Structure 1
Amino acid sequence: MENITSADSFFKIADIMVTPVIIVNNGRYLYCNNAFVADIGYTTDDISDLQDWFQKAYPDVDYQNEIIYCRDKRRGIAEKYGRSSFHLETKVCCADGSYYWYDIYETQLDNLTILTFLNIDALEIENNQLNNAVQQKNLLLSMVVRDVRDPLFDIKVLLDNLAHNKADVEKEQFDRIIFDLALHVDHATNLLNAALLRSGIERGTFSFKPDLIDLEAFLTKRYQNLKSRLAQKNIRLLFKLDVPKIMFYDRFILEIAFVSIINYIILAGKQGGDIVISNVEEKYFSSLIITDDRLPNLDYSEQETNDNTSRIFEGFGDAGLINAEKMIGEHNGKLLIYKKRYGTTIWEIRINKYNVL
């Protein structure tokens, strides 16, 4: 069997590693694996030995001398305690002139010196992204719990009243209670669908399936499902679609986004009126636009917004909208909102045609 500590064996192993690695053979020959070339940028044509490496990675002479001093000191401590490896955090100048912090692990194995590089800046970015994802999931979970728990509590109260023959209310009031319950249940169902879809995306079990959607048929079907609840609020949906009345996108994601917007509109404190649904077909994108120019009620407090889309949706405090915005953003599109004067709100589901196609 070939000796695993031979240079050829280590070079083969190093080239399939995803971590940047430098291998020095007997202090003379320096080898860079593919990950090192891709991440840091230098090749064996740029650096032929460790001296070249120090000059390239630390062009500032004072900093270079400091790194060499610290490296020698760390190596001496490791040798004193019988250890074959040590590490040192340094700020490395990459081949393109950019600087990144690396935690460099140096290991001595027979006649080979192996340097392994961990990108501290990249790890910090990934950690921040992970923390942000956890915070977003906690936010969405709290909203889903709130929005699902409230209608369930209302249903329980109604059932308790019915069980004790206390539902002696007028038909109009009873119909109103049923309407509110149906609205909350529909909203909660859409939230759960969005949460399940979001979970499927994160687990990798969701398959993005863009399809040619007939917008008129799609919107008509959604309108029929929501018509009774819209009527209770004296809201009508008017379709003003331009040719071609189609959109190429995932039908399930589009449905969740559209229903989330309409549910929010139904629950918003505005007067009755018409909601206009239109579409835009441009060279690079397709859009479905929902325009709500109804006047706010006297007790309706307009929410402040800014140019940060994600913060706009968080400001609305609606888990369905936040879920929809994130799902579309992760699948070649954007869910945008524009606040105009006199209370007009415009929602735009914009799809990047070329990315989807």
Structure 2
Amino acid sequence: MIVMESFFKSKEDVVKIANFLPYPFIITEIETFDAHFQSLFFNENLIQEFGYTTQDIPDVDTWYQLLYPDEAYRNEIRNAWNIKLHEAISKNEKEVKIKARLKPKGKEEKWYEIKTFFLDNFFILAFVDINNEVILQEKLTKINRNNERMLSILGHDLRNPIANLSAMSFMFENNDVTDEEFKAMVKLIYQESNLLLGMIETILNWTRLNFNTIEVSPVGIQYQTLVTDIIGFYKSMIHHKNISVSVDLQDFVTRDCDAEIMTVIIRNLLSNAIKFTPQYGQIKFYHNDNVLTIEDSGVGMSQEKIMSIKANNCISTNGTENEKGIGMGLQLVKCFGEMNNCEIDFESSPGIGTKVSIRF
């Protein structure tokens, strides 16, 4: 404690200054860098932020166990901090900084920048809350990835069906097709056109979502009418796969949802159900209290796929007849559901089918 006594008149002076400063921090003396420390002081901000006192945390191991409850992450952070500390000592530096997720008592994990100043075995550790900045950065990174993905789609996935339509048009113009080929190509044109329309609609909605140009206008919605109209848009696709679609929503009405957003949600869910339902399958719309359910007899999804959807890591998968998509439909459904005060749950088993519940 020679350093402390040479700089301050008394321990009380240290306490006053420590509690005056705005950041949570620890003043401690470490006997060995990774084995034991003597807690000299937790300032009031640190106790309020993390919920622990020096009596609760008498040593290094207890600190790591309480603030980093996940063992793998705890070891990762502990090793990273020790490496940085020894590197700083070897360079005769007196500061170490590291970013980490800490779990305050009874609260969710948060991101902090841990700033450490040390002189011999005397340490001061300050904890700066950077949680909002990290979350914002993660959102920006996600937006950038989505933008790159959009450019990839525009450069590849949209180009292919357009090129196919152009080639078929050229053949028609030059009378290079027989009657049978003409009929087959008309069917292909229809499929390619529907694929393009679906992709363009998804891209436009995703763009609007990312640029925050969507305004929510709550109205009363009669779902029997809304769903019936949406089914009409997919009539040919349903007929082509001989899928039976039933709608039992006659008495189901909500009064605080945006009709356009709900249309996008249901269209994407229906499109997905058609895509992954084989020939002669079934799709059902029904309700129970304040929950609208869309159930299909399709190929189903694994729990890993459902977790991927919840984590916004959707990847396009071809349908039962090689139908293509861009992998963003379910992300749109999830995001639009949050905007419309809906909870959307997925229940599915491979080979059995999928049930999507929209809880209002």
TM-score of the two chains, using structure 2 as the length reference: 0.59
Aligned to 1:314: 314
Match of 2:199 among 181, 188, 196: 188
Contact 2:223/2:250 (CA < 8 Å) preserved in 1?
no
| Structure 2: distance between partners of 1:180 and 1:262 | 17
SS at match of 2:238: helix
Aligned to 1:209: 217
Match of 2:342 among 321, 333, 349: 333
Structure 2 letter corresponding to 1:323: L
1:179 aligns with 2:190: yes
| Equivalent runs, 1:38-57 vs 2, <5 Å | 53=43
Structure 1: where are the runs of 5+ without partners? Answer: 1-23, 42-50, 64-69, 71-76, 78-85, 107-115, 297-301
Aligned to 2:296: 292
| Equivalent runs, 1:223-238 vs 2, <5 Å | 223-238=231-246
The percentage of counterpart residues that share the same residue type is 14
Aligned to 1:200: 211
| Equivalent runs, 1:29-40 vs 2, <5 Å | none
Structure 2 letter corresponding to 1:332: N
SS at match of 1:322: helix
Deviation for aligned residue 1:331? 4.4
Contact 1:242/1:280 (CA < 8 Å) preserved in 2?
no
Aligned to 2:160: 150
Contact 1:303/1:316 (CA < 8 Å) preserved in 2?
no
Aligned to 1:221: 229
1:264 aligns with 2:272: yes
Superposition CA RMSD, Å: 4.7
Aligned length: 278
CA shift digits 1:289-308 (9 cap, x unpaired) = 221125x6xxxxx6544351
Structure 2 letter corresponding to 1:165: N
Structure 2: where are the runs of 5+ without partners? Answer: 1-12, 26-40, 48-52, 61-84, 86-91, 118-125, 318-326
Structure 2 letter corresponding to 1:343: I
SS at match of 1:271: coil
Cα pair distance change 1:125/1:195, threshold 3 Å: closer
Cα pair distance change 1:129/1:191, threshold 3 Å: closer
| Structure 1: distance between partners of 2:131 and 2:140 | 14
CA shift digits 1:207-234 (9 cap, x unpaired) = 2222211101111221222223322222
Contact 2:348/2:354 (CA < 8 Å) preserved in 1?
yes
Cα pair distance change 1:244/1:266, threshold 3 Å: closer
Aligned to 2:6: none
Structure 1 letter corresponding to 2:314: E
CA shift digits 1:25-72 (9 cap, x unpaired) = xx9897567xx6xxx59xxxxxxxxx9849967947999xxxxxx9xx
Cα pair distance change 1:29/1:240, threshold 3 Å: closer
SS at match of 1:206: coil
Deviation for aligned residue 1:199? 2.5
Cα pair distance change 1:127/1:160, threshold 3 Å: same
CA shift digits 1:99-156 (9 cap, x unpaired) = 97446699xxxxxxxxx97425654454344434433554455456544333222221
TM-score of the two chains, using structure 1 as the length reference: 0.59
Match of 1:344 among 350, 353, 356: 353
Cα pair distance change 1:169/1:123, threshold 3 Å: same
| Structure 2: distance between partners of 1:131 and 1:347 | 29
| Structure 1: distance between partners of 2:104 and 2:329 | 46
Structure 2 letter corresponding to 1:159: S
Aligned to 2:172: 162
Moved more, 120-129 or 180-189: 120-129
| Structure 2: distance between partners of 1:55 and 1:272 | 65
SS at match of 1:276: strand
Contact 1:313/1:321 (CA < 8 Å) preserved in 2?
no
| Equivalent runs, 1:20-99 vs 2, <5 Å | 53=43, 59=54, 89=97
Match of 2:333 among 293, 302, 324: 324
| Structure 2: distance between partners of 1:94 and 1:222 | 46
CA shift digits 1:211-259 (9 cap, x unpaired) = 2111011112212222233222223421112633446322222211222
| Structure 1: distance between partners of 2:145 and 2:250 | 40
| Structure 1: distance between partners of 2:256 and 2:45 | 54
Cα pair distance change 1:210/1:32, threshold 3 Å: farther
